[in-house]
C-alpha cells in the first residue's frame, strides 16, 4: 500500500499512473470527432490500461506478499473490505448515472445491469451493439483477479515456493488461450470477403476476456514477489534505475512496432503483443521504483495530482467528452478542432475532481475511520 513514508517510490509510480491515464484519454478521444494527428499520437494509447494493470499488480500483490514475507497473518476480510471502498462507491455512482440519465451514455446501448454489478461485463462484450460504459471491462478483470488471488493463498499456496513456477505457467497459459481463441473465433473470419465481423470477434474473444489479458497483472505481481521475497536481488537491480528505464523504453518501442494501429489485430499483435507490452511496462515500473532513477528522485505536483484523479477520470472521461461535444457543436466549435479537445480535457479533469472529492475520497476516509474504530473479525485469516 502506498504510504507517506516512501515519497520517492510514490513519485515514480505517480509519473507512470499519470502517463497511463493520458494514454487512455487520448486513445478514447479518437472514438469521437478529433484532430487528425491524434490518430497517430493515440494509436498506442490503448496500452495505458496495461500500464494500469502492471501498477495494480505490483501494489495489490505487494500488500499480500509483504505480510507473507514477514510471516504475518493475512486477513482476507480486510483485503476485500479495502478493495470494496477503493473501487465500488465511485463505480456505482457512475453506473447510476448511466442507467438513469440516457444522455450520459457515449453510446446508445448498455449491457444488462447485472453484468456491471457482478463485474462480468467483459465476457462476451459486443462493443458494436452494447458499447456504453465499455471501458469498465478493465475493472472487471482487476476485480476478478483480486477475487481469485487471495483464494490461492487460502488454499495453501506458498508464494515463496510456488510463485516462481506458477507465474510463468499463467503467462504461458495466456499464449495458449489467445492462440486457441484466434484459431477458432478470429481466424475463420479472415477467410471471408473483406473480413466481416473481424473487429467484433477480436474484441470479444481476444481483447476483453480476463483469461487472455492477465499479462500486465502478472507482470506487476512478479515485481511484487521479487521485491518481497528476493530483496537482495531487488536491491541489486534497482541500483541501475535509469538503465532499466532506458531498457523499458526500448522494449516499449518494440511493443509499439508489434501492435500499434492495424498490427494490433494481426496474429503477432494478438498473440505476442500483450506480453511484450507487459514486459516493457514492467521494466518501466521497476525503473520507477529504483531509488537511482530520475522518475523516483524527482517528484511532480502535476503528475501526483493527475495520478490522484486517475481513477475518477477513467470512470467518467468518455461520457464527458460526449456531453461536451454536444454542448459545443451548436456554438460552432467543431469536434475535430483543438479548441474542442482542450475544452474536453478541462471538463474531464473537473469532472474527475468532482467525483474524487464527492465520492472517492470521502469513502476512503470512511474506510479508515471504520477500520480504526471497529476492527474486522479475523475470518479467513491465514498464518504464513
Mean pLDDT of the chain: 89
d(CA 207, CA 140): 13
pLDDT of 58 higher than 70: yes
Tell me the percentage of the chain whose pLDDT exceeds 90: 66
pTM beyond cutoff 0.85? yes
Grid cell locating 349: 479533469
How many CB atoms are closer than 10 A to CB 40? 11
Half-sphere exposure of residue 242, counting CA atoms within 13 Å on the CB side? 5
Q: How many residues does the chain have?
A: 384
Lookup result for grid cell 502517463: 19
Per DSSP, 273 falls in state I
Name the least confident of 25-29, 60-64, 90-94, 353-357: 60-64
Phi, psi of 214 (to 5 degrees): -90, 0
By the 8 A CB rule, do 352 and 360 touch? Answer: no
Q: What pLDDT digit, counting tens, does each position of 362-379 carry? A: 999 998 888 877 665 544
| Among 111, 218, 240, residue whose Cα is nearest residue 173 | 218
Residue 160 confidence (pLDDT) = 59
Grid cell locating 170: 499463467
d(CA 223, CA 13): 13
Residue 310 confidence (pLDDT) = 97
Q: What is the per-residue DSSP string for 134-177?
A: GGGHHHHHHHHHHHHHHHHHHTT--HHHHHHHHHHHHHHHHHHH
Q: What pLDDT digit, counting tens, does each position of 81-126 carry? A: 889 999 999 999 999 999 999 989 998 789 999 999 999 999 999 8
Average pLDDT (338-355) is: 97
By the 8 A CB rule, do 281 and 51 touch? Answer: yes
| E runs forming strands in 205-330 | none
By the 8 A CB rule, do 358 and 315 touch? Answer: no
Q: What is the per-residue DSSP string for 279-305?
A: HHHHHHHHHHT-TTSHHHH---HHHHH
- Which is more confident, 154 or 336? 336
d(CA 210, CA 220): 16
Question: What is the CA angle 189-195-200, rounded to 5?
Answer: 75
Sign of the Cα pseudo-torsion (234, 239, 244, 245, in order): positive
- Residue 384 pLDDT grade (very low, low, confident, very high; cuts 50, 70, 90): very low
Amino acid at each position: 500500500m502506498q504510504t507517506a513514508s516512501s515519497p520517492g517510490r510514490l513519485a515514480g509510480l505517480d509519473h507512470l499512473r499519470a502517463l497511463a491515464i493520458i494514454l487512455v484519454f487520448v486513445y478514447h478521444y479518437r472514438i469521437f470527432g478529433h484532430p487528425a494527428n491524434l490518430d497517430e499520437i493515440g494509436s498506442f494509447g490503448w496500452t495505458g490500461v496495461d500500464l494500469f494493470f502492471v501498477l495494480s499488480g505490483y501494489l495489490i500483490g505487494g500488500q499480500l506478499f509483504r505480510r507473507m514475507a514477514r510471516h504475518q497473518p493475512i486477513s482476507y476480510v480486510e483485503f476485500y473490505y479495502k478493495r470494496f471502498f477503493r473501487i465500488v462507491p465511485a463505480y456505482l455512482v457512475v453506473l447510476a448515472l448511466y442507467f438513469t440519465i440516457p444522455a450520459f451514455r457515449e453510446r446508445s446501448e448498455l449491457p444488462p445491469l447485472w453484468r456491471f454489478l457482478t463485474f462480468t461485463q467483459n465476457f462476451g462484450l459486443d462493443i458494436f451493439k452494447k458499447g456504453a460504459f465499455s471501458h469498465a471491462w478493465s475493472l472487471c478483470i482487476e476485480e476478478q483477479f483480486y477475487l481469485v488471488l487471495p483464494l490461492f493463498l487460502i488454499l495453501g499456496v506458498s508464494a515463496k515456493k510456488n510463485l516462481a513456477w506458477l507465474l510463468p505457467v499463467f503467462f504461458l497459459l495466456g499464449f495458449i488461450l489467445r492462440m486457441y481463441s484466434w484459431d477458432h473465433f478470429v481466424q475463420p473470419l479472415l477467410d471471408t470477403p473483406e473480413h466481416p465481423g473481424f473487429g467484433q470477434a477480436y474484441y470479444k474473444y481476444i481483447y476483453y476476456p480476463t483469461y487472455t489479458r492477465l499479462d500486465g497483472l502478472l507482470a506487476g505481481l512478479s515485481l511484487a514477489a521479487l521485491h518481497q521475497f528476493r530483496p537482495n536481488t531487488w536491491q541489486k537491480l534497482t541500483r541501475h534505475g535509469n538503465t532499466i528505464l532506458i531498457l523499458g523504453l526500448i522494449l516499449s518501442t518494440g511493443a509499439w512496432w508489434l501492435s500499434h494501429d492495424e498490427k494490433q489485430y494481426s496474429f503477432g499483435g494478438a498473440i505476442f503483443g500483450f506480453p511484450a507490452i507487459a514486459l516493457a511496462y514492467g521494466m518501466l515500473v521497476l525503473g520507477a521504483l529504483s531509488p537511482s532513477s530520475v522518475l523516483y528522485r524527482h517528484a511532480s505536483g502535476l503528475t501526483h495530482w493527475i495520478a490522484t484523479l486517475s481513477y475518477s477520470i477513467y470512470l467518467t472521461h468518455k461520457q464527458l467528452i460526449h456531453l461536451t461535444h454536444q454542448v459545443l457543436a451548436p456554438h460552432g466549435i467543431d469536434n475535430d478542432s483543438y479548441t474542442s479537445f482542450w475544452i474536453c480535457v478541462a471538463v474531464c479533469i473537473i469532472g474527475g475532481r468532482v467525483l474524487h472529492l464527492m465520492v472517492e475520497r470521502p469513502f476512503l476516509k470512511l474506510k479508515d475511520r471504520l477500520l480504526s474504530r471497529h476492527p474486522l473479525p479475523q475470518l479467513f485469516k491465514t498464518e504464513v
